[in-house]
């Protein structure tokens, strides 16, 4: 989706993080926690994942805090700890806070045992899964993060939304190149892509979703209203049952095994007064438990080089490595400022004004 420049203001990342954190503090979130949440949200925008960025600060988080649906003072605690594994209770607080704490714990365990692995129950939406998997990188570790989420996708042969877009993320340190960072929903597309196509009145590939009777359709309105997303792979004949299986496995680990909610039990952050019951599952894996870091980096260089220099398909001009586009976007947005949609900017302006928080000046355009 192309962003139209006129719809956006650009804001320096540090200033955007600062006001997001200050706003969260106004709703009784402790400063150290507010800092984590704002860092996760603005990192999403920096990486070009606008759907999970600062635009969600109000509808997903502040609105829930305001209404008392979510606990601002959560202090995620470990309910079970055995060897290299643990289970954690997110206390219906901000998902970012719980998942950040869990990943820190995994990293500590991985130093001791080669791997650390933890489940988090009773949590909420946590932004981009890639943020947490990437926490492992600076420790010379591989990070993995998965989560369940509110149901939007259809199990193969069903017409009921039972699966979330249940993300899978893995981050692997590399040598010369940027790290390999896969951060993907296990549906073909996110619901946002359907929503945008509906608004614009354009058709979508019939592999993206089904109507309310579970039939593949090119009409985004029918997918959006009463239908649902196909899991990765699309319908049955193009192996959508594999995406269904992956998504179900993520729900089992994040929801069933952690003691959190699962399937239709995971509630919608925008509308539900009840705790959403989101569950996450994270791991950190020490590279040096398997191989010396210098050798591993050299091998990752070779791996990436072999992919990048492979012969191109007709009409294509580049082979990408997972995360590569997002790192380029990050660099550009660090330089030019983070694009914030004018509607989101107006929302932030109103909130800041209400709380006497000074808004940063947007960057001036440099054509």
Residues 70-129 close enough to bind a second copy by CB under 8 A: 80, 82-85, 87, 112-115, 117, 119
Q: Identify which of 290, 254, 249 has the alpha carbon closest to the alpha carbon of residue 145.
A: 254
Instruction: Among 3, 14, 157, 353, indicate the residue that binds a second copy (CB under 8 A).
Output: 157
* Other beta carbons within 10 Å of 92: 20
Contact status, residue 355 vs residue 27, Cβ threshold 8 Å = no
With respect to a second copy, which residue has the nearer C-beta, 108 or 365? 108
Please give the residues from 230 up to 259 whose contact with a second copy meets the rule CB under 8 A. Answer: 232-234, 237-239, 241-246, 248-249, 251-253, 255-259
How far is it, in rounded angstroms, from Cα 229 to Cα 333? 31
Please give the residues from 314 up to 353 whose contact with a second copy meets the rule CB under 8 A. Answer: 314-322
Contact status, residue 45 vs residue 340, Cβ threshold 8 Å = yes
Residue 36 Cβ vs a second copy, minimum distance, rounded to whole Å: 24
CA 264 to chain centre: 20
Please give the residues from 294 up to 313 whose contact with a second copy meets the rule CB under 8 A. Answer: 295-296, 299-300, 303, 306-307, 310-313
How far is it, in rounded angstroms, from Cα 184 to Cα 208? 15
Residue 253 Cβ vs a second copy, minimum distance, rounded to whole Å: 8
Output the CA torsion sign for 126, 50, 175, 185. positive
Residue 96 Cβ vs a second copy, minimum distance, rounded to whole Å: 22
Q: How far is CA 38 from CA 8, 31, 56, 293, in A?
A: 19, 10, 11, 32
Contact status, residue 9 vs residue 342, Cβ threshold 8 Å = yes
| Number of amino acids touching a second copy (CB under 8 A) | 89
With respect to a second copy, which residue has the nearer C-beta, 148 or 333? 148
Q: How far is CA 224 from CA 36, 91, 191, in A?
A: 32, 32, 8
2 lines the binding site for a second copy (CB under 8 A): no
Residue 300 Cβ vs a second copy, minimum distance, rounded to whole Å: 6
Q: In the structure encoding, which two tokens stand for residue 286, read together? A: 């020490």
Residue 345 Cβ vs a second copy, minimum distance, rounded to whole Å: 31
With respect to a second copy, which residue has the nearer C-beta, 160 or 354? 160
With respect to a second copy, which residue has the nearer C-beta, 92 or 258? 258
Helix (H, G, I), strand (E, B) or coil at 107: helix
Output the CA torsion sign for 321, 326, 330, 332. positive
Residue 339 Cβ vs a second copy, minimum distance, rounded to whole Å: 23
With respect to a second copy, which residue has the nearer C-beta, 107 or 232? 232
Looking up tokens 């060897």, which residue turns up? 83
Residue 318 Cβ vs a second copy, minimum distance, rounded to whole Å: 7
Please give the residues from 200 up to 219 whose contact with a second copy meets the rule CB under 8 A. Answer: 205, 207-208, 210, 213-215
Helix (H, G, I), strand (E, B) or coil at 9: strand
Instruction: Among 264, 271, 334, 350, indicate the residue that binds a second copy (CB under 8 A).
Output: 264
With respect to a second copy, which residue has the nearer C-beta, 95 or 155? 155
Q: How far is CA 166 from CA 149, 208, 242, 275, in A?
A: 6, 16, 14, 18
With respect to a second copy, which residue has the nearer C-beta, 182 or 363? 182
With respect to a second copy, which residue has the nearer C-beta, 72 or 227? 227
192 lines the binding site for a second copy (CB under 8 A): no
């Amino acid at each position: 989706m192309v962003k139209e420049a006129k719809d956006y203001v650009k804001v320096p990342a540090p200033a955007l993080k600062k006001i997001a954190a200050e706003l969260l503090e106004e709703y009784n979130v402790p400063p150290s926690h507010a800092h984590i949440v704002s860092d996760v949200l603005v990192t999403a925008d920096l990486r070009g994942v606008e759907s999970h960025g600062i635009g969600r600060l109000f509808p997903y988080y502040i609105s829930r805090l305001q209404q008392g649906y979510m606990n601002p003072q959560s202090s995620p605690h470990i309910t079970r700890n055995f060897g290299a594994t643990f289970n954690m209770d997110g206390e219906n607080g901000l998902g970012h806070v719980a998942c950040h704490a869990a990943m820190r714990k995994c990293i500590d365990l991985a130093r001791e045992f080669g791997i650390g692995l933890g489940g988090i129950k009773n949590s909420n939406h946590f932004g981009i899964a890639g943020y947490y998997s990437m926490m492992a990188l600076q420790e010379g570790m591989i990070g993995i993060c998965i989560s369940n989420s509110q149901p939007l996708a259809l199990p193969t042969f069903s017409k009921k939304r039972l699966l979330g877009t249940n993300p899978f993320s893995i981050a692997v340190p590399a040598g010369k190149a940027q790290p390999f960072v896969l951060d993907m929903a296990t549906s073909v597309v996110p619901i946002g892509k359907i929503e945008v196509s509906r608004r614009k009145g354009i058709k979508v590939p019939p592999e993206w979703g089904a109507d309310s009777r579970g039939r593949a359709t090119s009409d985004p309105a029918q997918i959006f209203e009463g239908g649902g997303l196909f899991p990765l792979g699309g319908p049955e004949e193009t192996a959508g049952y594999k995406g269904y299986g992956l998504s179900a496995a993520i729900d089992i680990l994040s929801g069933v095994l952690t003691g959190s909610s699962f399937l239709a039990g995971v509630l919608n952050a925008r509308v539900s007064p009840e705790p959403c019951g989101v569950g996450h599952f994270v791991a950190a894996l020490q590279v040096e438990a398997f191989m010396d870091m210098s050798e591993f980096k050299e091998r990752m260089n070779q791996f990436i080089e072999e992919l990048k220099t492979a012969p191109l398909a007709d009409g294509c001009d580049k082979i990408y490595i997972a995360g590569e586009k997002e790192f380029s976007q990050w660099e550009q947005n660090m330089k030019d400022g983070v694009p914030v949609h004018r509607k989101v900017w107006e929302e932030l302006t109103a909130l800041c004004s209400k709380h006497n928080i000074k808004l940063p000046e947007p960057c001036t355009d440099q054509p």
